[in-house]
């Protein structure tokens, strides 16, 4: 008798594949780093991937589903179910440490519990001002560093 793990890639392998899929709005961070891939499991012959959008009205949700499906089908997954899970709601706490570092390296200040960026992602200074509550996407605000005068996005805490 052949074991089920011999027939299917492990959930860890599937997660590794999904870690290569970039977020469509912030391509420097993967869907796994963003924390929206909430589960991967085999149910018989069907692979179920549970995805929690960053918020219920996120315009990228359908694109993300297409990207996940494409990435897995390219690796031979034939029977696939994508489950959208909105509870518990996604939170910025789910962004991995690696994802936070990638955001900052890219020029986006990662979320901070205090409600504003800790430092400028460009020069590291902490003399900052909020320009607008709204940035390039609904989950970001626009800030400026008073030291280097560069504007930057801050990923809001949710």
> Where does the pLDDT of residue 117 fall: very low under 50, low under 70, confident under 90, or very high at 90 and above?
very high
Q: What are phi and psi of 155, to 5 degrees?
A: -75, 110
Instruction: Specify the number of domains making up the chain.
Output: 2
pLDDT over threshold 80, residue 1: no
In the sheet that holds 46-51, the strands lie side by side as 37-43, 46-51, 80-84
**CATH code of the domain in which 57 resides:** 3.30.300.130
Return the percentage of the chain with pLDDT > 70, whole number: 96
The pLDDT, as a whole number, for residue 58 is 82
Identify whether 98 is part of a domain: no
Same domain (yes/no): 82, 113: no
pLDDT over threshold 60, residue 65: yes
| Among candidate residues 51, 49, 47, the one with its CA nearest the CA of residue 4 | 47
Work out the average pLDDT over 96-111.
Answer: 96
Work out the average pLDDT over 27-31.
Answer: 96
The pLDDT, as a whole number, for residue 139 is 84
What residue numbers bound the domain in which 118 lies? 107-155
Identify whether 70 is part of a domain: yes
Task: List, for residues 118-136, the tens digit of each pLDDT value.
Answer: 999 999 999 999 999 988 8
Same domain (yes/no): 16, 85: yes
Are 146 and 125 a contacting pair, CB within 8 Å? yes
């Amino acid at each position: 008798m052949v074991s089920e793990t011999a027939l299917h890639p492990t959930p860890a392998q599937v997660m590794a594949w999904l870690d290569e899929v970039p977020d469509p709005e912030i391509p420097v961070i993967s869907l796994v780093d963003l924390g929206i891939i909430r589960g991967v499991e085999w149910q018989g012959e069907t692979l179920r991937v549970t995805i929690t959008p960053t918020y219920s009205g996120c315009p990228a949700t359908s694109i993300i589903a297409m990207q996940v499906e494409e990435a897995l089908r390219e690796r031979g997954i034939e029977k696939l179910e994508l489950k959208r899970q909105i509870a518990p709601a996604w939170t910025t706490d789910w962004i991995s440490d690696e994802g936070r570092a990638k955001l900052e390296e890219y020029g986006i200040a990662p979320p901070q519990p205090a409600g504003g960026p800790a430092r400028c992602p460009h020069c590291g200074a902490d003399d900052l001002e909020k320009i607008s509550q709204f940035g390039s996407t609904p989950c970001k605000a626009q800030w400026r560093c008073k030291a280097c005068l560069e504007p930057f996005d801050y990923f809001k805490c949710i």
